[in-house]
Amino acid sequence: MGTDNGGSIYGSISGQPTIQVNKPYEPRLESFVVELASIEEMPHTVFFFLEMIDMGLWDGTVLLHQESIEHVLGAVPLDYRLQQVKLSHMGALGWKGLAFPEFSSNWQHEKYTLGFANLGPAFYMNTIDNTAAHGPGGQGHHLLPDDADPCFGRVVEGQSVVDELVKFGLSRENTSTHPMFEDIDHSFTQIVSIKLLPTTDKRDNGASPKFDKKKEKKNRQQKTFQKQQRADKKAHLDLRA
């Protein structure tokens, strides 16, 4: 996997994403740190994730537990207190997900990696090796048969916290963890925040590539065009079938 931190600079903030959670079974604040794919490998996906962090989309949201699901731990932009999707934040972003399912062979869906569910904004942590199931051709919801869920990061610190959360999610003693909402099929861990933990890029004496919002806007337009091309290609393949 790449060693360059894709989140080196976003605006004037440097760092690696740090996910802080409120463990419902103690309760106690814990955190784990994510290394992102490099900008060169996954520019569209990494910038989208960083923009969501910058907008505060993930602050006060949830990790979703389901007893029957043990291969992933999902994060959804659902307000923990109100149990409502954070639509205002998504509207401020001006888009609801990725333009296309970006993928790099350097970033496979191995244990402790992060991937977007389809085009996002929901993402998940792989709690087992899902390389085949979530890699190219592994998911049926994509437009093209060889597409894959974008894998864009991995937990490099606090893996034991992830293990504890997975264990909690598989226990039937977890169904009353939310003060306002109870679901017999799901339980929730509060994502208190996702912030960037300061770090430096040692390859160039601390200087890191800067995020250019105008360039990214142009990239988005190009990706939207590419998405339409992919849809046209799929339609052509369907006609030939």
Q: Which CATH number is 195's domain given?
A: 2.40.100.10
Alpha-carbon distances of 132 from 149, 224, 241, rounded to whole Å: 11, 27, 25
Name the domain count of the chain. Answer: 1
Q: Which of 53, 65, 66 is nearest to 153 (CA)?
A: 53
* Residue 203 belongs to a domain: yes
Q: Which helix (H) or strand (E) holds 240?
A: helix 213-240
Q: Tokens 């990706």, residue?
A: 223
Structural domain containing residue 77: 9-212
Domain-embedded: residue 204: yes
pLDDT at position 12: 34
Buried b / exposed e along 83-98 (16+ C-beta atoms within 10 A):
eeebeebbeeeeeebb
Environment class of 63 (CB within 10 Å of its CB; exposed 0-12, middle 13-18, buried 19+): buried
Read off the pLDDT band of 81 (50, 70, 90): confident
Q: What is residue 208's three-state secondary structure?
A: coil
Residue 233 lies in a domain: no
pLDDT single digits (tens) 4-48 = 444 344 433 357 999 999 987 777 899 999 999 998 899 999 999
**Residue 226 pLDDT greater than 90, yes or no:** no
